Amino acid sequence: MTTTAQRVNDAIREAAEASLPQSQKIDFDAVLTSDVGLDSVQIMDLVMEIEDRLDLSVPVEVLAEVQTLGQLSQHLQQLIEGKR
């Protein structure tokens, strides 16, 4: 049985591969703006891909606190756990 963390991280990886075709390797510790070079619109697009895959909505307020995919994963896991 897959854990919430696995499910979330798989969704993030798939979404990143789909919406960031140029990126070589998905790094969960890279800062999305300065390290990966994404602007706010691109981050929003990426999050929408992830939302579709996990069938949940991420409040904008959460996004403001997120700098890396790892942090996003933590927030998403909390959102999912909170739903139960």
Partner 1 sequence: MSLFDKFRPLAEARAGLGDLGVAPGVAPIATPIEDIHSAAEGVIDGRQVILAGTNNYLGLTLDPDVVQAASGALHHYGTGTTGSRMANGSYLAHQALEGEIAAAFGWPSAMVFSTGYQANLATISTLAGKDDYLLLDGDSHASIYDGAKLGNAQTLVFRHNDPENLDRRLARLGEDAGRALIVVEGLYSMLGDQPPLAEFIEVKKRHGAWLLLDEAHSFGVFGERGLGLAEHQGLLADIDFVVGTFSKSLGSIGGFCVSPHAELELLRLAARPYIFTASPSPAVIEGTRMALRKLLAGQQLRERLWSNINRLYGALNELGYRLGSDKPGPVVAIILPDRETALAHWKGLLEAGIYANLMVPPATPKGFNLLRISLSAAHTPAHIDHIIESFGRLRRAA
What residues make contact with partner 1 under the rule CB under 8 A? 39-42, 44-45, 48, 52, 55-61
Is there a contact between 45 and 8 (Cβ–Cβ < 8 Å)?
Answer: no
Residue spans of alpha helices (H) in the chain:
4-19, 40-54, 60-63, 69-83
State in angstroms the smallest separation of the CB of 21 from partner 1.
14
State in angstroms the smallest separation of the CB of 46 from partner 1.
12
Return the residue matching tokens 């942090």. 71
State in angstroms the smallest separation of the CB of 1 from partner 1.
24
- Nearer Cβ to partner 1, position 29 or 39? 39
